[in-house]
Amino acid sequence: MKDETQVYHIQKDQRGTRLDRFLIDATEGVSRTYLQRLIRDGDVTVNGEIGKQPSYVLRDGDRVCLTLPPPRPLDTAQPERIPLDILHEDRHLIVLNKPAGMLVHPANGVNVGTLVNALLSHCTDLSGIGGVERPGIVHRLDKGTSGVLVVAKTDAVHRGLSAQFERHSIARQYVAVVCGAPTETTGTIDARIARSRRDRRRMTTIKTGGRHAVTHYAVLERYPQFAFVQLTLETGRLHQIRVHLQGIGHPVVGDAVYGGEQRALNDADTPELKQAISQLKRQALHARLLGFEHPATGEHLAFSAEIPEDMQRVVDALRFF
């Protein structure tokens, strides 16, 4: 397959726009992250020059040339016969319920046991846009987060789903058990997120800079020292729910990175609850619902998955003891 080259001439009404934002609007369904990588890799030129940053501000008359490389062959991640909990599958995409403890794609030296390894064994027609390490992966869930996730089989559907994520038109609903309980029954957390300078594993909320992030919450059940909450994402940033909840003083139970593990164990007031939290070994966060427009058919689809047993044991211990 050959590279696909697109050329754009900047008009007066487009000047002052960031290069990456312009390309998002100009292309159909190519994610911002992927475009930023292409810019940094030299696949985007402005007036014949490479080396521009994604934040470059376009000027009247600039000539932007975008080269979309063909999908890379899926030749490094190895197929593994790992059972998948598939909620829906057609020739365009797969929707599944990811278990807690499974990485979505190879990372940090982990090349086996990931969702990508399982998918490569299940089917051979995944989208190549994500490259050799992330074929078909449109979005991700943290290793310790369970729940509904969609994977693209074709490049066109990958671009279509990515565009919906960029527009924030995907319906994403989570549930979590948190330490303490928000005073208000419903609310919105609007706080910018950036990587922590002290610990690169962590994200943090900041007043300026970083990335805009919005999480809506609703308290479903209140207990002494804890709450069961529903969370709806307006944006989708790395660790968004976890860092937002920690930022308002209610970290997710079991979350060792954001302070929810030790606090939950300290606050557990029954042996049954302490045991359930000890056995959790991950954050009590589950992606319960995912809704989107099927890029190939135009049909609106929505899928849900009940919370897994380890989280249910924590909720039961809260309810009945």
Helix (H) or strand (E) holding 100: none
Report pLDDT digits (tens) over 273-305: 999 999 999 999 999 999 999 999 999 999 999
Fold topology of 171-320: Pseudouridine synthase (3.30.2350)
Across residues 108-113, what is the average pLDDT? Answer: 74
pLDDT digits (tens, 9 = 90+) for 26-69: 775 566 777 888 888 788 999 988 878 889 999 999 999 998 76
Percent of all residues in the chain with a pLDDT value above 90, rounded to a whole number: 59
Q: Which of 20, 142, 255, 310 is catalytic?
A: 142
The CA-CA-CA angle for residues 55, 135, 113, to 5°, reads: 120
CA 31 – CA 264 distance, rounded (Å): 37
Judged against a pLDDT cut of 70, whether residue 89 lies above it is answered with yes
> Backbone dihedral region of 294: left (phi > 0), alpha (psi from -120 to 50 degrees) or beta?
beta
Which amino acid would we find at residue 167?
Answer: R
Residue 271 contacts residue 301 (beta carbons within 8 Å): no
Residue partners of 164: CB distance under 8 A and separation at least 6: 170, 292, 293, 295
> Mind listing the pLDDT tens digit for each residue in 67-84?
876 654 444 678 899 999
Query: pTM to 2 decimals?
Result: 0.77
Is 142 a known active-site residue?
Answer: yes
- Please state, rounded to an integer, the average pLDDT across all residues of the chain: 88
Q: Quick one: pLDDT at residue 74?
A: 46
pLDDT value for 182? 93
Q: How far apart are CA 146 and CA 307, in angstroms?
A: 8
Q: What is the pLDDT of residue 70?
A: 61
CB atoms within 10 A of CB 197: 8
Average pLDDT of the residues in 100-122: 84
pLDDT for the residue 143:
93
Tokens coding 216: 């809506």
What's residue 29's pLDDT? 53
- Residue identified by tokens 């900041």 is 206
- The alpha carbon dihedral of 242, 245, 249, 252 has a sign of negative
- Report the SS3 class of residue 31: coil
Residue 68, both tokens: 């979309």
Tell me the residue type at 84.
L
3 state SS of 123: coil
Q: Which CATH architecture has domain 4-68?
A: Roll (3.10)
Cα–chain center distance at 64 = 30
Rounded to whole angstroms, what are the CA distances from 191 to 155, 196, 210, 211?
Answer: 33, 14, 10, 9
Span(s) in the chain for CATH 3.10.290.10: 4-68
Name residues whose C-beta falls within 8 Å of residue 205's C-beta, 6 or more positions apart in sequence: 191, 192, 193, 243, 244, 247
d(CA 150, CA 302): 11
- Regarding the domain delimited by 86-167, which CATH topology (the fold level of the hierarchy) does it fall under? Pseudouridine synthase (3.30.2350)
| The pLDDT of residue 201 is above 80 | no
Listed in order, the ranges of the chain carrying CATH 3.30.2350.10 are 86-167, 171-320
Average pLDDT of the residues in 169-197: 94
